[in-house]
Structures are given as C-alpha cells and as structure tokens.
Amino acid sequence: MNKKMKILYINNEPNSDHSKLHKYSRSFLPYYLSKKSNLLGIGKYELHKFYLKYLKFKPDIILSDWVPAGFIPVFLKKLGLIKCPIIHRWEDYYAETMTNYPYWLIKFMEDYTAKNADHLIVIHKTIYRIAPKINNSVFLLPYGVMLGNKKTKINLDKLKTKKSNLKVIYLGEINLPFKRVDKIIEAAKKNDCDLFLFGEEPNEKLKEMSKGYKTIHFMGWVDQDEVADVLRQGDILVNTADLDMSMKFLEYVNAGKPILALDGKPSEFFKHKETAYLTQDFEEGLRELIRNKNLRNRISKGMKTIKLYSWEEVADLHLELYKKIIFGGEDLDKFRESYYHVPL
C-alpha cells in the first residue's frame, strides 16, 4: 500500500499533537503510529469537534481509548453517521478509576463502548477474560516500554538517611485513591529502608502520614527519558495498585529490580516469589524482601522470562492489525494473544 493509512485517534490527552512525545502522557503509541501513518489526534478538550474532524479527515479507521472518547464514535456509528471501522483500546477499569465522575455514567459508557465497537484491544488479562463475552472481536496486545537511557542527575544513594538502608521506589500517580500509596508509606515507616516516591505533589493526607519521617522522600516527577536510570538505582520497586499490568509494571520489569505488588489482579501477570513478590500485607512483604537478598535475586532473574516490546514494535503490530481489518485478512487470530508479555 503506497498511500499512508489515515488514523483518527480520539483520547483523553490534553494536547492532540502526537508528533512529539509528551513527558507525562500515554502518547507513545500514537507517536510511533504517526511515524508510519497519517494520524490525526483529538484530545479531551476537542471531543466536541470530533464529528466535524471526522468528516473533513475521512479516516480509514478510528482508534480510541478512555471514555467518553470511545463512547462518542461508537454512538455516532450506531446512528449511521460513521462508516469506517472503530477500534477501542479498553485499557483500564474506567468505572473504578475515574472516581471524579458518577460511577453509573462511566460504567454505562464503558459497557456501551466495549459492546458496540467493531474491535477491542485490551492489555489486561482480567479484561481479556470477560471481553469476548461482550464483543466477538477482541485482541490482547502488549504495551510498550520506553527504552530511553538518559543518565539522570538524581543520586538516590546520596539521599539515603542510613547507608545500610535499601532504596524502595514508587513511580506513578500519588494521590489517586486506587493507587493505595498510603499502604507503601505505612509499610516503609516500619522497615529499614528509604522510600522514594516519584510523582505529583502529595496531598495533605499523605504529607501528614509522612511527617517526621526523613526516610520518606517525595521526589516530584522525573523526565520520561530518565525513568529507566532512576529505577535501576532502586533495590525494590513497588506498585500498590490492583492492576494486572500497566506501563509502570513494564518499566519496573525493564529495570530488572524485584517488584513488590498487591496479591490481587497483579497475580494474573506475575508469579509470587518468581517474577514478583505479591502480598496483601505490604509491611510484611517489604520486610521479607529487605531481609532476603537471595529472594530478591531470584525474582530479578525470573523477571527475564517476561517478554518486553519497544513502543515502536507495538506500533508496528497495531498497524499490521489495522491493515488487515481495513483491507481484509483471514489470519486475524494470530493477533489475539500471540504477542502478549506472558503466556495465558
């Protein structure tokens, strides 16, 4: 095909220009898609312009993630106003995580979008288990890892309060309730370690919890191209959210350091004491990892069995799938679960 595929990408980014990487966004996939296709992005502040842009752009395919971004094109197609295929990336538990909006409203849009999109792409094994019951065209495709290796000026060893303390790192949103950052702060307060939290400014509750503890360090955001170098400085990397997979988990795996995670949905992706330490008790889990160096080494070694993809590789997979959807192809089944990070 000589002519570039035209992709209309509707999402929740504040900036719809995906020709550049944004430091704190999820724009990595559309950025790499834009290198090999004609991609037009529509951000959350432009959702009301979607249909006019659709008519003018005349895309070959529509790609969406988030709701209401996914709901809008699917609803318009039901009305007969959209003609091209719609792929929705169902990559989060929107009704559970979008707590600033009424649950019933987000749940309705989430379910409607999943049921009525022409195709679904999911990243969570837990969602992949239920998605085929809702939609008969579902693909479990991987997330990518940013492979940038810029040397950071941050030196965590110099910030430790005690030379013998291990360095525990959390990286991600800090104030969202479902991230459960309070759990790791409480656990770190009761163990011999220094906890470094990278993310936004903490709210008053988390500040109060950490008051008087010099071992709790709020580090602010780190540039995306420095993330890998920062994470490799840690001795233990922790993620307290109840998600079986995320970009942060993959960045942790890429760093090669043992992961402490919740014994819930993460058990769909990790194996306890083989590729991560899974627990309901972060205080006890952190204590065991700190005291048992052999366990930390075993987990780090086991993590090498997890398949990682660059975002460029992920974008190539997507483009190949899109072409087969647009122009027809009988081997779509190879995309359904063949490329995932771990076996089903």
| Residue 21, pLDDT score | 56
Cα distances from 260 to residues 238, 296, 316, in angstroms, run 5, 10, 32
Specify burial of residue 57 (Cβ count, 10 A radius: 0-12, 13-18, 19+): middle
Task: Establish if 117 belongs to a structural domain.
Answer: yes
Contact 240, 176 (CB under 8 A): no
Tell me how many domains the chain contains.
Answer: 2
pLDDT one-digit tens code per residue, 223-235: 888 999 999 999 9
Which of helix, strand or coil describes residue 64?
A: strand
- Percentages of the chain per state (helix, strand, coil), in multiples of 5: 45, 15, 40
Same domain assignment for residues 229 and 136: no
| Residue 1, pLDDT score | 46
Across 55-82, average pLDDT: 96
Contact 196, 231 (CB under 8 A): no
Same domain assignment for residues 109 and 174: no
Say if residue 262's pLDDT is above 80. Answer: yes
pLDDT band at residue 289 under the 50/70/90 scheme:
very high
Same domain assignment for residues 163 and 292: yes
Distance between first and last Cα of the chain: 34
Across 66-70, average pLDDT: 92
Same domain assignment for residues 297 and 173: yes
Across 183-190, average pLDDT: 96
Task: Establish if 186 belongs to a structural domain.
Answer: yes
Same domain assignment for residues 161 and 296: yes
Mean pLDDT over all residues of the chain? 92
Same domain assignment for residues 273 and 321: no
pLDDT one-digit tens code per residue, 266-276: 999 999 999 99
Task: Establish if 58 belongs to a structural domain.
Answer: yes
What are the residues whose beta carbons fall under 8 Å from the beta carbon of 121, sequence distance 6 or more?
87, 88, 89, 90, 91, 138, 139, 141, 318
Across 53-68, average pLDDT: 96
Across 85-101, average pLDDT: 88
Q: What percent of the chain has pLDDT over 70?
A: 94
pLDDT one-digit tens code per residue, 129-168: 999 999 999 999 999 987 767 889 999 999 999 999 999 9
Say if residue 20's pLDDT is above 70. Answer: no
Same domain assignment for residues 243 and 163: yes
Same domain assignment for residues 49 and 173: no
What tokens does 189 get?
């307060």
| Residue 15, pLDDT score | 66
Task: Establish if 22 belongs to a structural domain.
Answer: yes
Which of helix, strand or coil describes residue 182?
A: helix
Match 């649950």 to its residue by tokens: 103
Say if residue 190's pLDDT is above 70. Answer: yes
Contact 11, 43 (CB under 8 A): yes
Say if residue 39's pLDDT is above 90. Answer: yes
Say if residue 79's pLDDT is above 80. Answer: yes
Same domain assignment for residues 166 and 294: yes
Across 330-342, average pLDDT: 88
CA contacts within 13 A on the Cβ side of 155 = 3
Question: In terms of residue numbers, what domain contains 271?
Answer: 156-305
Query: CA Rg, the chain, in Å?
Result: 21
Task: Establish if 344 belongs to a structural domain.
Answer: no
Q: What percent of the chain has pLDDT over 90?
A: 78
Contact 313, 283 (CB under 8 A): no
Task: Establish if 342 belongs to a structural domain.
Answer: no
What are the residues whose beta carbons fall under 8 Å from the beta carbon of 135, sequence distance 6 or more?
114, 115, 117, 119, 120
Same domain assignment for residues 163 and 278: yes
Across 86-99, average pLDDT: 88
Q: How many helices (H) and strands (E) does the chain have?
A: 15, 12
Across 79-101, average pLDDT: 90
Same domain assignment for residues 100 and 212: no
Cα 204 → chain centroid: 26
Task: Establish if 151 belongs to a structural domain.
Answer: no
Say if residue 77's pLDDT is above 70. Answer: yes
Rounded to an integer, what distance in angstroms lies between the CA atom of residue 262 and that of residue 238? 9
Rounded to an integer, what distance in angstroms lies between the CA atom of residue 89 and that of residue 114? 9
List the CATH number of the domain containing 23: 3.40.50.2000
Task: Establish if 343 belongs to a structural domain.
Answer: no
Which of helix, strand or coil describes residue 196?
A: strand
pLDDT one-digit tens code per residue, 95-139: 887 878 899 999 999 999 999 999 999 999 999 999 999 999 999
Say if residue 24's pLDDT is above 60. Answer: no
Contact 55, 40 (CB under 8 A): no
Same domain assignment for residues 260 and 138: no
